[in-house]
């Protein structure tokens, strides 16, 4: 079975889908691995490292796509690229299937098995394949560091002969994977850390990392079977906004991490709240690319509003592309390994497998994921 890995084409994207050490594991399992020339350069992996791992380097991108039995990548393809794939091949990447309906139809019509990395189930068994979580963890770390580069003060308390500098206050909204890593990072840097999440069950996790959990009585809330926060009622949302207002005004850095896969993210910081912050304060909006948690944030940009810097750069894990590549590559390898038939030396789609049930979107000319099928007419 031939596995093809093309270069990522998104502007500024330095991550790579498969690193040399995982390419070597795939070759040992019996796969032939073919990469596009220059695949790993943005993350510091040379073509020679892939050759040493047993892969073949090909300069022709179209040849990589059209000949592969399995295509492994990070970003979703264009419809033109889908048309180059051969019928019956498997394509694995982020796909944004809730919004990219034409893309899903193109996979179906091309008879390609499309696997969405966003749709990997959140279970103990699938943790090692969960790319959303692996990249979000790095994002939490990066967002704190980016905020410090814009903040005109240091994070830790510092006692000097010239006087004592008080610690900066960092307020993190959302204590999922990214939020918890942001809490841990800000705390390690010496900041006073406060966090809030609509799920009371994560309060102990916040405290275990040294953060203070902001108590806001929202009434009955909870989380889904996958661990995501249940959407709030309008009344609860207003209670949250009001409960956060004072903390936001007192904070030097605010980091929002509320992303709802498949839906527009909630607004957590209003224009009035931004205006109420101290000049020089910094906000990082993790969800800026998908609609934003912060009024005034701009996707892909850092802007200043009322003396407050709002960072909406996005693609946070790409700032640490080598480590992000290592983690994503491990996620992909484990997914391929999950479906690998040692006798056939091939990846096999088995719908009895609970992990593949959730993440396979199209197969044999059909949309097979029920949730996506109901969205696409």
What is the rounded CA–CA span in Å between residue 118 and residue 61? 25
Helix/strand/coil for 202: helix
Report how far apart, in Å, the C-alpha atoms of 357 and of each of 96, 115, 312, 349, 362 are: 17, 10, 34, 9, 11
Give the catalytic positions in this structure: 122, 127, 130, 133, 228
Q: What is the pLDDT of residues 114-158, one digit of tens each?
A: 999 999 998 889 999 999 999 999 999 999 999 999 999 999 999
Kindly state the percentage of the chain with pLDDT values over 90. 88
**What pLDDT score does 223 carry?**
62
Helix/strand/coil for 145: helix
Better-scored residue on pLDDT, 224 or 37: 37
Tell me the HSE value of 90 on the side-chain side, using a 13 A CA sphere. Answer: 22
> 86 near 2, Cβ under 8 Å?
no
**What pLDDT score does 25 carry?**
98
Q: Is the pLDDT of residue 260 over 90?
A: no
Cross-strand pairs, 58: 36
Report how far apart, in Å, the C-alpha atoms of 11 and of each of 8, 100, 293, 301, 315 are: 9, 19, 24, 14, 11
Residue 257 host element (H or E): none
**Extended strands (E) in the chain:** 2-5, 32-36, 56-58, 70-72, 90-93, 113-116, 158-160, 163-165, 169-173, 192-196, 212-213, 253-256, 282-285, 302-305, 308-311, 340-341, 346-347, 360-363, 366-367
Residue 69 burial (C-beta neighbours within 10 Å; 0-12, 13-18, 19+): middle
Ordered structural domains, the chain, with CATH: 2-129+322-365 (3.40.50.720), 151-314 (3.40.50.720)
Give the mean pLDDT of 359-370. Answer: 96
CA torsion, ordered 348, 104, 12, 61, to nearest 10 deg: 60
Q: Is the pLDDT of residue 224 over 90?
A: no
Length of the chain in terms of residues written: 377
> 282 near 147, Cβ under 8 Å?
yes
* 71 confidence band (pLDDT: 50, 70, 90): very high
Mean pLDDT of the chain: 94
What is the rounded CA–CA span in Å between residue 302 and residue 278? 18
Order of all β-strands in the sheet with 56-58: 56-58, 32-36, 2-5, 70-72, 90-93, 113-116, 360-363, 366-367
């Amino acid at each position: 079975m031939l596995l093809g890995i093309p270069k990522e084409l998104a502007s500024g994207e330095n991550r790579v889908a498969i690193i040399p050490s995982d390419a070597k594991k795939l070759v040992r399992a019996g796969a032939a691995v073919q990469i596009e020339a220059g695949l790993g350069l943005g993350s510091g992996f040379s073509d020679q490292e892939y050759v040493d791992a047993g892969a073949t380097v090909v300069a022709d991108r179209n040849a990589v796509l059209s000949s592969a039995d399995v295509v492994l990548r990070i970003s979703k393809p264009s419809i033109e690229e889908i048309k180059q794939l051969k019928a019956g091949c498997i394509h694995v990447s982020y796909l944004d299937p809730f919004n990219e309906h034409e893309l899903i139809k193109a996979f179906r019509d091309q008879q390609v098995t499309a696997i969405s990395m966003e749709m990997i189930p959140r279970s103990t068994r699938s943790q090692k394949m969960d790319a959303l979580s692996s990249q979000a963890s790095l994002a939490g770390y990066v967002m704190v560091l980016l905020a410090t580069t814009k903040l005109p003060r240091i994070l830790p308390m510092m006692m000097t002969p010239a006087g004592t500098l008080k610690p900066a206050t960092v307020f993190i909204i959302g204590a999922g994977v990214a939020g918890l890593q942001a809490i841990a990072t800000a705390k390690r840097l010496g900041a006073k850390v406060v966090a809030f999440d609509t799920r009371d069950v994560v309060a102990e996790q916040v405290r275990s990392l040294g953060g203070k959990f902001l108590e806001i009585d929202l009434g009955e809330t909870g989380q889904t079977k996958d661990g995501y926060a249940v959407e709030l009622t309008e009344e609860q949302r207003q209670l949250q906004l009001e409960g956060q207002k004072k903390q936001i005004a007192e904070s030097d850095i605010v980091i929002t991490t509320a992303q709802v896969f498949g839906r527009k993210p909630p607004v957590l910081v209003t224009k009035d709240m931004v205006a109420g912050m101290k000049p020089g304060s910094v906000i990082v909006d993790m969800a800026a690319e998908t609609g934003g948690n912060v009024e005034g944030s701009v996707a892909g940009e850092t802007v200043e509003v009322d003396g407050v810097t709002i960072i909406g750069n996005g693609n946070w894990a790409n700032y640490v592309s080598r480590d992000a590549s290592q983690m994503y590559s491990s996620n992909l390898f484990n997914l391929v390994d999950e479906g690998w038939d040692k006798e056939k030396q091939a990846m096999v789609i088995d719908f009895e497998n609970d992990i593949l049930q959730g993440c396979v979107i199209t197969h044999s000319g059909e949309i097979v994921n029920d949730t996506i099928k109901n969205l696409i007419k």
